[in-house]
Structure 1
Amino acid sequence: MDRSIIHMDLDSFFVSVELLRRPELKGKPLIIGGSSERGVVASCSYEARKFGIHSAMSSQKAKKLCPEAIFVRGDMQEYSKYSKIVRQIIHDKAPVYEQASIDEFYLDITGMDRFFGILKWTTELRETIIKESGLPISCGLSVNKVVSKIATGLSKPNGLLYVPAGTEKAFLAPLPIEKIPMVGKKTTEILHQAGIFDIGTLSNTPAVQIEKLLGQHGQGLWKRANGIDLSPVEPYSERKSISTETTFGEDSTNVPMLHATLLQMVEELCFSLRKKNFLTGCLTVKIKYSNFEKETRQCSFSYTSSDDVLMQKITGLFDALYNKRKHVRLIGVKLSNLVHGNYQISLFEDSEKNQNLYAAMDAIRTKFGQDAVKRAIGKKTGQGK
């Protein structure tokens, strides 16, 4: 039996939320993000996009392209609230759903066509979300996640596109290869150099040849180009926190070593957050002394998944808690108050350079393991007293 998979994406989500709060900004070039020299565009209105502005662009460049642009610093708590409103609507109606990010969902409604028309059901769900949340949302409906996501992109803004079972390859064929999810600039350049510009050409090229061009990822890309994607919709589960701790072989009062260990813990936890598309709003440090006495201290902040932001907080939090007369047996770090979101939207005042650095480091860790690259400050954690 063919699957029925819906992809739903809230259009210009942050902008749409801001327009609900400030309707007088409708129709104006609106940019969500920091306006400082280090600022980055997290999202922008369609009016701003006409000037060539896009997410992850530096705010300084955006200002040059559109001097009259209106900058609004993001409010992740507000965005999280609206994301939960949409998620609850989906939860109440869909048998299985996955929240891929703060503004993106997959639904598996396989088998429902025996009771409802799946296109009619999808249309009604979309209309319900728009009515109850006030937010525009685009949808794609097909037999798998990849084709549905591409269909959503083509249905924007605020539309719905249905790709019936058996028409996936014909639907994809005329589209440029960049429309395939996770096809970046480097892959695009390699394929263009090989004379492959559209998905149809890619799908008709022998898979072996694509593997020679792109290595181990070639097979997967060839399958996606042919409309083949067996990845399941992962049932949603709300994660509240993520944590790690270290028990030392020898109790210690070595503060520089304790600091370095904490920084390494934060680095590893932040990588895990970004990998799973989460942001955190609360940081907790735990200390257990040699007499097994335990103490904790926490602080709250704007949602983030940045090593830099949390590294600046963790040592101060530890120093305020630590009783220097006591030997430390164990230290731990917990990130809680988690919400769905990715790094590009978590730091409205971070720099484009930092964002590119995180992306590069995370790509290396994903490919070669979490210990493949670390900051120099977190490398040496000798456990001397």
Structure 2
Amino acid sequence: MIERKIIHIDMDAFFASVEQRDNPELRGKPLAVGHAEERGVVAAASYEARRFGVRSAMSSQKAKRLCPHLIFVPGRMEVYSAVSRQIHEIFHEYTDIIEPLSLDEAFLDVTENKPGIPLAVDIAKEIKLKIRERLNLVASAGISYNKFLAKIASDYRKPDGLCTIHPNQALEFISRLPIENFWGVGPVTAKKMHSLGIHNGEHLRARTLETLIREFGKVGAIYYDFSRGIDLRPVETIQIRKSIGCEHTLERDINKRSSVIIELYHTAVELVGRLDRKDFRGNTLTLKIKFHDFSQITRSITQSKELLTLDVILPLAKQLLKEVEYENHPIRLIGLSVSNPREEGEEKGSVWEQLSFEFSDWDS
């Protein structure tokens, strides 16, 4: 079997860096992309702001408490999308096997590459240099023989990182890796791992496949493989949209049933409009609720029929809402999404969607 050469490119503080690039007065200052009002949320934070503990998905009020001189700027999604396209033009100079994960990160399979460069690390260096010279932005790159390790490597030396994990180093590297840094392990799973005495890759590798499946379900098999440096997923160039969703941060926390139903109705109406515009068809409806203390839950239901219209989606959303106790736990945010397109019904795909759902938290 040919050993793959995979690169993961991740732009450093992408939205905030674009704003600092385009406005010299913002350079070197703590910056948040988002809105500063009471119900605002930080969409992205510069590294200067991160030193104070400011993070994406944090409430604007908390961010300002942590960093009183934090500067807020509104997001410009059309600009970020245009810059992302420029970055991908650079990627295509080396390979057409590109799997975007978001506007600011992607996997590249450079096993066979257009310039014929033998070492993937040299390609990563060139890509980083071209992004800096042409776009005045900074990227981190991870290189390895599979996606899991390339992703881990790109996070290892941020910002402006470059890290290669060779096959003969992989097991030792994974052994030392904190369990929180494993791709697909979010806060909830990390807490459960800790309760089981699993704190790093070495601890995880010591558990049997049967134990991990019993504790974590089908995802346990993925954790089992990851702990051994195994990830057979290819870099996929065809991206199929897996879900359409929308969410509303409310002007005030609510716990009155009539108010919650009204907000749920408005969210469902917006969702139906998005489904129609994108011509998206799916069978699973997910309700997301974020409470006043920023804790959150999701509830899902899958139907045999496609979820397209308000008269189908709204009753299901109300059914899911019945599973949520909010009378003593006021609601701050309501979200709805439709996922699980029929052509993506394979079991493996659904497992990975669940993984990504946990750590992206709908906020990426």
After TM superposition, is the score higher than 0.5?
Answer: yes
Q: Report the Cα distance in structure 2 between the residues aligned to 1:5 and 1:153, rounded to whole angstroms.
A: 15
Specify whether residues 191 and 368 from structure 1 end up closer, same or farther in structure 2 by C-alpha distance, changes over 3 A only: farther
Q: Report the Cα distance in structure 2 between the residues aligned to 1:274 and 1:358, rounded to whole angstroms.
A: 16
User: Contact 2:265–2:314 (CA<8 Å) still a contact in 1?
Assistant: no
The match for 1:334 among 253, 268, 277 is 277
Q: Report the Cα distance in structure 1 between the residues aligned to 2:153 and 2:176, rounded to whole angstroms.
A: 13
Give the equivalent residue in structure 2 for 1:59: 60
Q: Report the Cα distance in structure 2 between the residues aligned to 1:75 and 1:274, rounded to whole angstroms.
A: 20
Summarize the alignment of residues 120-135 of structure 1 with structure 2, pairs less than 5 Å apart.
120-135=122-137
Give the equivalent residue in structure 1 for 2:340: none
Amino acid at match of 2:77: M
Point out where structure 1 has 5 or more consecutive residues left out of the alignment: 243-270, 276-305, 318-331, 337-350, 381-385
User: Contact 2:42–2:55 (CA<8 Å) still a contact in 1?
Assistant: yes
Specify whether residues 367 and 150 from structure 1 end up closer, same or farther in structure 2 by C-alpha distance, changes over 3 A only: farther
Do residues 12 (structure 1) and 20 (structure 2) align? no
Give the equivalent residue in structure 2 for 1:106: 107
Of 102-111 and 228-237, more deviation after overlay is shown by 228-237
Q: Report the Cα distance in structure 1 between the residues aligned to 2:186 and 2:304, rounded to whole angstroms.
A: 19
SS state at 2:99 partner: strand
Give the equivalent residue in structure 2 for 1:118: 120
Give the equivalent residue in structure 2 for 1:360: 298
Specify whether residues 366 and 93 from structure 1 end up closer, same or farther in structure 2 by C-alpha distance, changes over 3 A only: farther
TM-score w.r.t. structure 1 length? 0.66
Do residues 146 (structure 1) and 104 (structure 2) align? no
Q: Cα distance, 1:109 vs. partner? A: 1.1
Amino acid at match of 2:171: K
Do residues 192 (structure 1) and 194 (structure 2) align? yes
Q: Cα distance, 1:121 vs. partner? A: 2.0
TM-score w.r.t. structure 2 length? 0.70
Specify whether residues 314 and 181 from structure 1 end up closer, same or farther in structure 2 by C-alpha distance, changes over 3 A only: closer
Point out where structure 2 has 5 or more consecutive residues left out of the alignment: 247-263, 280-288, 320-364
Aligned length: 286
Deviations 1:59-116 (A, max 9, x none): 1111111111101110101111111110111123214111111111100011459752
Q: Cα distance, 1:307 vs. partner? A: 9.6
Q: Report the Cα distance in structure 2 between the residues aligned to 1:217 and 1:211, rounded to whole angstroms.
A: 7
Give the equivalent residue in structure 1 for 2:243: 272
The match for 2:173 among 171, 174, 187 is 171
Amino acid at match of 1:17: V
User: Contact 1:97–1:235 (CA<8 Å) still a contact in 2?
Assistant: yes
Q: Report the Cα distance in structure 2 between the residues aligned to 1:157 and 1:100, rounded to whole angstroms.
A: 19
Q: Cα distance, 1:353 vs. partner? A: 5.0
Greater RCO structure (CA 8 Å; 6+ sep): 1
User: Contact 2:290–2:296 (CA<8 Å) still a contact in 1?
Assistant: no
Summarize the alignment of residues 1-385 of structure 1 with structure 2, pairs less than 5 Å apart.
1-112=2-113, 115-236=117-238, 272-273=243-244, 311=269, 333-335=276-278, 360-361=298-299, 364=300, 374-376=313-315
Runs of 4+ displaced beyond 6 Å: 356-359, 366-371, 377-380
Amino acid at match of 1:207: L
Q: Report the Cα distance in structure 2 between the residues aligned to 1:307 and 1:156, rounded to whole angstroms.
A: 42
Deviations 1:333-369 (A, max 9, x none): 2239xxxxxxxxxxxxxx9659x799724xx358999
Q: Cα distance, 1:117 vs. partner? A: 2.3
Larger-gyration structure (1/2) = 1
Q: Report the Cα distance in structure 2 between the residues aligned to 1:376 and 1:183, rounded to whole angstroms.
A: 33
SS state at 2:93 partner: helix
User: Contact 1:199–1:225 (CA<8 Å) still a contact in 2?
Assistant: yes
User: Contact 1:99–1:236 (CA<8 Å) still a contact in 2?
Assistant: no
Amino acid at match of 2:269: M
Deviations 1:245-281 (A, max 9, x none): xxxxxxxxxxxxxxxxxxxxxxxxxx82359xxxxxx
Q: Report the Cα distance in structure 2 between the residues aligned to 1:226 and 1:52, rounded to whole angstroms.
A: 33
Amino acid at match of 2:243: S
Q: Cα distance, 1:167 vs. partner? A: 1.9
Give the equivalent residue in structure 1 for 2:257: none
Q: Cα distance, 1:220 vs. partner? A: 1.0
Q: Report the Cα distance in structure 1 between the residues aligned to 2:304 and 2:73, rounded to whole angstroms.
A: 38
SS state at 2:133 partner: helix
Specify whether residues 199 and 314 from structure 1 end up closer, same or farther in structure 2 by C-alpha distance, changes over 3 A only: closer
User: Contact 1:48–1:66 (CA<8 Å) still a contact in 2?
Assistant: yes
Q: Report the Cα distance in structure 2 between the residues aligned to 1:73 and 1:313, rounded to whole angstroms.
A: 24
Specify whether residues 368 and 64 from structure 1 end up closer, same or farther in structure 2 by C-alpha distance, changes over 3 A only: farther
